Amino acid sequence: MPAAQRDETHPGTGAELRQKLKAERQALFERFRHDDRPEKLLRSLRRCVDGILGEAWRAARLPANTALVAVGGYGRGELFPYSDVDVLILLGSPPDAITQAKLEGLVQLLWDLGLEIGHSIRTVDECLSESAADITVQTSLLEARLVSGDTALFAQLQARYREALDPQAFFQAKTAEMRLRHAKYEYTAFALEPNCKESPGALRDLQVILWVAKAAGLANSWGQLATRGLITRVEARQLMEKERAFKDIRVRLHLQTNRREDRLLFDVQTAIAESFGLASDPPGPGARRASEYLMQRYYWAAKTVTQLNTILLQNIEARLFPQPSVPRPLSSSCGDCFNEVNGFIDIVRDDTFETTPSAVLEIFVAMTERPDIKGMTARTTRALWHARNLIDDDFRADPANKARFLRILRAPVGLVHALRRMNEFGVLGRYLPNFRNIVGQMQHDLFHVYTVDQHIMMVVRNLRRFTMSEHAHEYPFCSALIANFRDRWLLYVAALFHDIAKGRGGDHSELGKTDAFEFCRDHGLSEEDTELVVFLVEQHLTMSQVAQKQDLSDPDVVQAFAGVVKDERHLTALYLLTVADIRGTSPKVWNAWKAKLLEDLYRITLRVLGGEPHSADRELRMRQQEALATLRLFGLPANAHEALWDQLDVVYFLRHDASDIAWQTRCLHDKLGSGRPVVKARLAPIGEGLQVTVYVKDQPDLFARICSYFDRKNFSILDAKIHTTRDGYALDTFLVTDANFAKHYRDIISLIEHELCELLVSQAPLGAPTRARLSRLSRHFPITPTVDMRPDERGQNYLLSIAAHDRTGLLYAIANVLTRYRINLHTAKIMTLGERVEDVFLIDGPNLNNPRVQVQLETELLDALSN
C-alpha cells in the first residue's frame, strides 16, 4: 500500500504513537534514576511497548486469523532501554495481495515509531520449519508471548511447537552454542572490558539455564529449579541476586550510552560505578578507582554464576540423559575420599571436605593424574565451592598439602585446567593469599586485556602449549627449547609469581621476587631451583626491554645481557617466560617482529655464553660469508658484490642479517650511481609485513620524506635501519605492516616501488603530519608523553627514547623535528604495546653536545607528541 494511502486511512497514527512512546519511555527512564529498580523498568518498558504495538496492530486492520507475537527477550517479558524489539507476525494462511500490502504498511509503521524492530512474517508451518533448521529461531519461539490478535492461532503455534520440541537435542545444541560463545571470549569472564550479556558468567549463561530447563519441562524460574531439587534455596537466591545485578548494569549501560551497548567499556566504567554510588579512593599509594570497585564486584558475580551454571547444567543433563550410577573408588593420598561416577569425580560423602580438608587440593591432584576424568559431579562442585574457606594457615603449613600443590604444578597434563578451576573456586587465592589480592584486579594500561590473575593463567597456558605437539607449529623455536628443559614446572611457578605483586605500589618485580622466594623456601625447593624461580620473577621484563629497545649489533649490549643471565639454563628459561608473557597480554601485542628480536637476542647471547667472542670482526666475517653463499645460489658473478660492499662500513653488516645483505646486494649491484632512486620491496622474511629498501643520494629530509609516504598509506613502521654509504648514498631499510598485505601483497609491493620512487624524484614539499584522533582507549587512559636522550655506552651516539600514544602520523611528526635539527638517524626501533608506542632511536648530530640544543629538541619533540 502506498505511504500516502496509509496516511489517509490512519491519519496521524505514526506521529502520535511515536510521540506517545517517546514520552512514556523518558518518564520510565527518569523514574528508574530515582528508584534504582531495574526489573521494574524492564517490565514497565515491555508494557509500554505492548500498548504501542497493540495500537499499531489494531490500526493496521489485518485479517482476524493473524497475531502479533513477542519473541526473544521481549517475549520473555522484559525489555532493556535500547534492545531490539523482536516480533513475529503470525499468519493463519499465506497472505493475499491486500494482506501483503497491509503487512508492509504495519512493518513501516513499526519502524517509524523509532523502535529497533526485528520482525518475521510466517505461518505456523513456516515457524516450525524454521525452528527445526535454526536453534536461534527455536530458542526465540520458546519464549513466545501473544501481544495482540488471534488467541487460537497462537495456541496452535504453542501446541505444535511443544510437540515438535526435542528437549535432549535442544540441550545439546544450546550447550554447544554456549561453548562456542565462551571460546570467542577466551573462556574467561575476566576481560577488562567484558560483555555483561555475552561473556562467560554473564546474563546469557543464566538465560541458557532457564531455556534448557523450560524446554525440558523442569522449571520456568530459579525458585522452581530449587523446588525440583536442581539447586538449593540459597543458590537460587544467589542466582536471582546476580541476575538482578547484571540486569542493573546492562540497563545503566544503555542509559549512559543512549544506545544498545552491552560492553563495560573503559569509557563508561567510571560513570556506571558512580551511578551505583561507588567512589574512588583519595589519592595515595594503593588508591583504587571507583571503576575498579565496580569491576571487582562484576568479576566475583561472574565467578559465582560460572560455578552455579556448571552445577545446574550437570543436574539438568542428568535428568534428561539418566545413566545408572555405578561408583568406583578412586585412589588418592587422602584415603577414601572420591569415587568415579560415569566419568566424573564424586565425593564419597556430602561432608568429605569438612572431615578431610586436604581433599580440597587432592581433588585437583586426582584430576591431573586422571586425564580421562571429565570433571566433577554437581554435588562435588557445590561442596568444593563452599569448602574453600577451609584453607587457612594450618592448612597451608601442612607439609602434605604443600606436596599436593607441587604435584599439581608437576603434573604432565591438565595443569592449566586445574589452575583455572582452582582460581574459579577460590582455592588458588586461598592457598596463595597474595594471589587472592590480584583476582579481578584491573590493569590500567593500553595493552593488557585481562585482569592480573587471568593474565597469569594465560602465561601458564602459553608455557604449557610450548610442550604440546599440536601447538608446535605456533611456537616451533619455543617447543624445541622446552623439550630439553629440565624441571619445566619451575617455569610455571615463576609464571604464577611474575605479576603477583601488581597493585601494591613499588616495583612489582622486586616485590614478587620476595613472594617467590618465600614460596620456594616454604615448599622445600632446592637452592638451585629457588634461585632460578626468583631470578625469573625479578628479571621477567629484562629480555623484552633489551631486545626491543637496545642495539643488538652492539657487542657491549649483548655482553651486558649475558652477564645478567649467566648461563644457558637461565637464558632459555627467561626467553620462554618472556615469549609466554608477551603473548599473554593481548592477542594484538605479539607479532613476528617481536619474535625475531627476542630470538636474535637469544641466539647471540647463547654464542657468547658458549665462549664465542661477540666481536665486530667475527660477526662481520660470518655475515659476509653467509651472504656470499646466498648470492652464489642466484648465479651472480663472483665479484658482483664488490662495488656495493666497498661503500659499506662495519656498522652496516652488523645491523643487517645475512639474508638482508644478500637481497639488497642483488637489488643494487647493477644500479649503483645511476642517479635515480631505487626502491625495492618484498615480503619480510620473518613472515609478517613488507621489507622496503631505499637507495638514493642522501638528503637532509630523507627519513621524514619516506615516513610521510608511509603515513599517507596508513602503514605502520615496525623498524628502520638508516645507513649512509661512503660515497654519500642513503641505504635505508624499513619493516612496515598493514592489514591488507597478506591478500594483496604483490599489488602493494608494485605500488610502493613506483610511488615512493616518484616521491623521492619529485622532491615535493613535505605536507603536515596527519592529525589523527586518539583511540577510545587512549582518551580514557591518557599517557604523558616522555622524551629521554642520553649518550650510548661508548659516548659516540645518543639514544633517544620516546613514549606516547600510538597514532597515525606519529613517526612522521618525530622525523620532521629531527630533520629541523639536522639529526642523523642510524636506527629506529618501534615498539607498539596495544595503544602505547615506545620508540628508541640511535642518533647523532652536530649540535647535540650543546645542552641548550638538547633541551630545545626535547621540548619540540614533546610538542609534536602532544598535538
Tens-place pLDDT, residues 452-481: 999 999 999 999 999 998 988 888 999 999
How much is the pTM?
0.80
pLDDT in tens, 712-729: 888 888 888 888 898 889
How many beta carbons lie within 10 A of that of residue 245, not counting itself? Answer: 20
Does residue 10 carry a pLDDT above 60?
no
Report residue 579's pLDDT band, with 50, 70 and 90 as the boundaries. very high
pLDDT in tens, 555-578: 888 999 999 999 999 999 999 999
pLDDT in tens, 243-286: 999 999 999 999 999 999 999 998 899 999 999 999 998 887 66
The pLDDT, as a whole number, for residue 123 is 97
Mean pLDDT of 670-695: 90
The pLDDT, as a whole number, for residue 5 is 41
The pLDDT, as a whole number, for residue 316 is 96
Report CA-CA distances (Å) from 301 to 198, 201, 853.
14, 8, 56
Report residue 844's pLDDT band, with 50, 70 and 90 as the boundaries. confident
> E strand or H helix at 382, and its extent?
helix 378-387
Mean pLDDT of 816-823: 88
- Nearest CA-CA partner of 313 in 340, 344, 285: 344
- Nearest CA-CA partner of 796 in 543, 614, 597, 556: 556
Phi, psi angles (nearest 5°) of residue 836: -110, 140
Does residue 771 carry a pLDDT above 70?
no
- Higher-pLDDT residue of 450, 411: 411
Mean pLDDT of 606-617: 79
- Higher-pLDDT residue of 327, 563: 563
Name the percent of the chain lying above pLDDT 70: 95
Q: How far apart are CA 615 and CA 608, in angstroms?
A: 10
The pLDDT, as a whole number, for residue 4 is 38
Cell of 329: 573408588
> E strand or H helix at 859, and its extent?
helix 851-866
Mean pLDDT of 616-643: 89
Mean pLDDT of 518-538: 97
Q: How far apart are CA 649 and CA 331, in angstroms?
A: 70
Q: Choose the weakest-confidence range: 76-90, 472-486, 793-807.
A: 793-807
Q: How far apart are CA 517 and CA 508, in angstroms?
A: 14
Report residue 520's pLDDT band, with 50, 70 and 90 as the boundaries. very high
Residue for cell digits 604464577?
Answer: 496
Report CA-CA distances (Å) from 147 to 67, 68, 89.
8, 6, 10
Does residue 1 carry a pLDDT above 50?
no
Does residue 740 carry a pLDDT above 80?
no
Q: How far apart are CA 225 and CA 230, in angstroms?
A: 5
Mean pLDDT of 27-36: 94
CB 750 within 8 A of CB 236: no
Does residue 832 carry a pLDDT above 80?
no
Does residue 83 carry a pLDDT above 60?
yes
Does residue 3 carry a pLDDT above 70?
no
Q: How far apart are CA 289 and CA 441, in angstroms?
A: 11
The pLDDT, as a whole number, for residue 476 is 92
Mean pLDDT of 144-169: 97
833 bridge partner residues? 836
Report residue 808's pLDDT band, with 50, 70 and 90 as the boundaries. confident
> E strand or H helix at 737, and its extent?
strand 729-737
Q: What is the crossing angle of helices 555-565 and 592-609, to 10°?
A: 80
pLDDT in tens, 289-314: 899 899 989 998 999 999 899 999 99
- Nearest CA-CA partner of 476 in 623, 627, 592, 605: 592
The rounded mean pLDDT for the chain is 90
329 bridge partner residues? 339
CB 325 within 8 A of CB 341: yes
Phi, psi angles (nearest 5°) of residue 488: -65, -15
Report residue 12's pLDDT band, with 50, 70 and 90 as the boundaries. low
Q: Could you tell me the end-to-end alpha-carbon distance of the chain, in angstroms, rounded to an integer?
A: 56
Does residue 775 carry a pLDDT above 60?
no
CB 90 within 8 A of CB 66: yes
Does residue 776 carry a pLDDT above 60?
no
Taking the CA atoms of residue 263, residue 266, residue 271 and residue 272 in that order, the dihedral angle to the nearest 10 degrees is: 40
Q: By three-state DSSP, how is residue 711 classified?
A: helix
Does residue 8 carry a pLDDT above 80?
no
Q: Choose the weakest-confidence range: 87-96, 613-622, 746-755, 821-830.
A: 613-622
Mean pLDDT of 588-606: 89
Residue 53: what residue type? L
The pLDDT, as a whole number, for residue 234 is 92
The pLDDT, as a whole number, for residue 353 is 96
Does residue 224 carry a pLDDT above 60?
yes
Mean pLDDT of 418-430: 94
Q: How far apart are CA 494 and CA 490, in angstroms?
A: 6
Reported for 14-19, long-range contacts at CB under 8 A and 24+ positions apart, including other chains, are: 14/109, 14/112, 14/113, 17/52, 17/55, 17/56, 17/109, 17/113, 18/112, 18/113, 18/114
Q: How far apart are CA 277 and CA 284, in angstroms?
A: 21
Does residue 9 carry a pLDDT above 50?
no
Q: How far apart are CA 367 and CA 422, in angstroms?
A: 12
Cell of 112: 517509524
CB 45 within 8 A of CB 25: yes
pLDDT in tens, 160-211: 999 999 999 999 999 999 999 999 988 888 888 999 999 999 999 999 999 9
Does residue 6 carry a pLDDT above 50?
no
Does residue 592 carry a pLDDT above 90?
no
The pLDDT, as a whole number, for residue 324 is 82
Q: How far apart are CA 86 and CA 262, in angstroms?
A: 17
Q: How far apart are CA 459 and CA 583, in angstroms?
A: 7
| 410 Cα distance to chain centroid | 28
Does residue 770 carry a pLDDT above 70?
no
Residue for cell digits 593463567?
Answer: 457
Phi, psi angles (nearest 5°) of residue 770: -65, 135
Q: How far apart are CA 691 and CA 715, in angstroms?
A: 12
The pLDDT, as a whole number, for residue 444 is 62
